[in-house]
Amino acid sequence: MTTARSSGTFAIGGDLTVNRLGFGAMRITGSGIWGEPADRAKAIATLKRVPELGIDLIDTADSYGPYVSEDLIREALAPYDGLVIATKGGLTRHGPDIWQPVGNPDYLRQCVLMSLSRLKLERIDLWQLHRIGPDVPRERQFEAIAAMRAEGLIRHVGLSEVSVEEIEAARKFFPVATVQNRFNLVDRTSEAVLDHCDRNGIGFIPWAPLDKGTLAQRGSALAEIASKRGTSEGAVALAWLLKRSPVMLPIPGTGDPDHLAQNVRGAELTLDDAEFRALDEQGRKAWKAGG
**HEC secondary structure over 15-57:** CEEEECCCEECCCCCCHHHECCCCCHHHHHHHHHHHHHCCCCE
Q: Is residue 280 part of a domain?
A: no
- Give which of 159, 67, 82, 46 is closest to 116, Cα–Cα: 67
Q: What mean pLDDT do residues 19-41 have?
A: 98
- Hey, which residues does 26 pair with through a beta bridge? none
Question: What is the pLDDT at residue 214?
Answer: 79
- Hey, which residues does 176 pair with through a beta bridge? 157
**128, exposed or middle or buried, with CB in 10 Å at 0-12, 13-18, 19+?**
buried
Q: What mean pLDDT do residues 88-103 have?
A: 98
Q: Is the pLDDT of residue 13 over 80?
A: yes
Summarize pLDDT for 254-269 with one digit per residue, the tens.
999 999 999 999 999 9
Q: Which domain holds residue 30?
A: 7-212+246-255
Q: Is residue 232 part of a domain?
A: no
Q: Is residue 134 part of a domain?
A: yes
Q: What mean pLDDT do residues 189-196 have?
A: 98
Q: Is residue 277 part of a domain?
A: no
The DSSP call for residue 14 is T
Please give the positions annotated as active site. 64
User: Would you place residue 291 in the very low, low, confident or very high pLDDT band (cuts 50, 70, 90)?
Assistant: low
Q: Is the pLDDT of residue 184 over 80?
A: yes
266, 239 Cβ separation under 8 angstroms: yes
Q: Is residue 113 part of a domain?
A: yes
Q: Is residue 273 part of a domain?
A: no
Q: Is residue 231 part of a domain?
A: no
Taking the model in full, what pTM does it have?
A: 0.97
User: Domain tally for the chain?
Assistant: 1
Q: Is residue 82 part of a domain?
A: yes
CATH number for the domain spanning 152: value is 3.20.20.100
